[in-house]
Amino acid sequence: EVQLLESGGGLVQPGGSLRLSCAASGITFSTYAISWVRQAPGKGLECVSVISGSGGTTYYADSVKGRFTVSRDNSKNTQYLQMNSLRAEDTAIYYCVGHQLLSAGWFDSWGQGTLVTVSS
């Protein structure tokens, strides 16, 4: 059974930084792409980044480009989302999602989410 566990969320001031982690089990981690999907309070779903299984390909939403960076350590079965220059509008639940195709696929494995709050 695939399990994805996010950590690292919390309260941060505007302009601050935070690093989220996504730890995986039950899968051959290096064969899974990982996306981060966020959901602002009472709002819909937005995919902000994706990284390929090897880590060699990454894509970002325009809303976070230049501020967020994804990376992964396949030896630790863990993927990271480094968030810098945080803004109030980045406040959301962040879900880590595992999927076998980098694109043209579907999201069948979701973590439980971690809450990021950007506020002074």
Partner 1 sequence: DIQMTQSPSSLSASVEDRVTITCRASQSISSYVNWYQQKPGKAPELLIYAASSLQSGVPSRFSGSGSGTDFSLTISSLQSEDSATYYCQQSYSRLTTFGQGTRLEIK
Per CB under 8 A, residues contacting partner 1 are 35, 44-47, 49-50, 59-62, 95, 101, 103-108, 110-113
Q: Which residue carries 């709002």 as its tokens?
A: 43
Q: How far is the CB of 110 from partner 1 (least distance, A)?
A: 4
Cα 23 from Cα 32, distance rounded (Å): 12
Give 29 or 36: the residue with its C-beta nearer to partner 1.
36
Cα 118 from Cα 120, distance rounded (Å): 7
Give 19 or 65: the residue with its C-beta nearer to partner 1.
65
Q: How far is the CB of 13 from partner 1 (least distance, A)?
A: 27
**31: Cβ–Cβ under 8 A, 6 or more apart, which residues?**
53, 100
Give 104 or 120: the residue with its C-beta nearer to partner 1.
104
Q: How far is the CB of 105 from partner 1 (least distance, A)?
A: 6
Backbone angles phi, psi at 44, to 5 degrees: -90, -165
User: What letter represents residue 18's amino acid?
Assistant: L
Q: How far is the CB of 70 from partner 1 (least distance, A)?
A: 12
Paired tokens of 63: 């809303």
